[in-house]
Amino acid sequence: MSLQEPLYETQRVRLAVWDSTEPTVRPGKTIPTLSRELRKAYARPKLDVFTNHSAISAFSENAYINKGSLTPEGVGGDAIHLESVDVVIMNPPFTRQERIPEEYKIKLAGRFREYADNLTGQSGLHGYFILLADVFLNVGGRLAFVLPATVLRLQSMEGLRKFLIDNYRLDYIITTEQRSAFSEAARFREILLIATKTKENLEASKCLFVNLKRIPVDSADSDFLAEEIISSKSANQNLNDADLSTESVSQSELRFSTENWFDRISIKTG
């Protein structure tokens, strides 16, 4: 994300090679330093590498890598102490549940057992990352996700929609009609989801559904469109101009329609 718009420079980059769904990746835990150089042969492992010992052994010693924190150069960095945070911004993996190995699904169920009432075992990998964000987010904190638009309608995601509606104030759900996705080279429709972790006054709150009619061309244009969106929400007034259209929907209404929120972003004609 920093490389997309490098407005600031920093010497403190916290990167690690790790399965972030593991119980060791929780507030209060520490990711140790990487002890060996990152090998290109292991730079893009598949999910089954984390569960399939035969797959791991298929790598030669020269290709294998230890888990841990690392620097941008691929060598061991400082250990990373994990803490709760006020903001989580994420573009999680969209791996469909059909492509997740069964053994790994069992591990995921165990790692997120406290959310068992909201999981069906049929969620794509992005569903678990929503829960991982919740683990790290302080009460009153905000999450911002890029997600496949199917999270708004798939039956397998309804439990997670109920989780969000019960534990978060849904602030914005944003889509665009200029192209199907915000991510480059994506082949499916995406949304931006912004929500605040709180249980206070949820029934009285409203979510603003936003349809961007064009993608911002630079950071200044992004600020301009953001101001339009914020103004629409604060004034509780729907907009429909050359840049975007908005629709404000009460959270109580969304609570009674968790089986499908997709119709709020569907393109209507006539």
What do you get for the CA distance between the two ends of the chain, in Å?
38
Per-residue pLDDT, 233: 95
Give 133-159 pLDDT, tens digit per residue: 999 999 999 999 999 999 999 999 999
Give 176-231 pLDDT, tens digit per residue: 887 766 766 666 789 999 999 999 999 889 999 999 999 888 889 999 999 999 99
Give 107-119 pLDDT, tens digit per residue: 999 999 999 999 8
Domain boundaries of the chain, sorted by first residue = 13-83, 84-264
Query: What does the block give as tokens for 75?
Result: 């060598």
The domain over range 84-264 is classified in CATH as 3.40.50.150 = yes
Rounded percentage of the chain residues whose pLDDT exceeds 90: 53
Give 38-95 pLDDT, tens digit per residue: 454 445 556 555 555 554 444 444 444 556 666 655 555 678 899 999 999 999 988 8
The CA dihedral of 90, 93, 97, 102, to the nearest 10 degrees, is -110
Output the CA angle 18-23-28, nearest 5 degrees: 90
Tell me how far apart the 2 most distant CA atoms of the chain are, in Å. 63
Give 12-49 pLDDT, tens digit per residue: 777 888 889 999 899 999 988 765 444 544 455 565 55
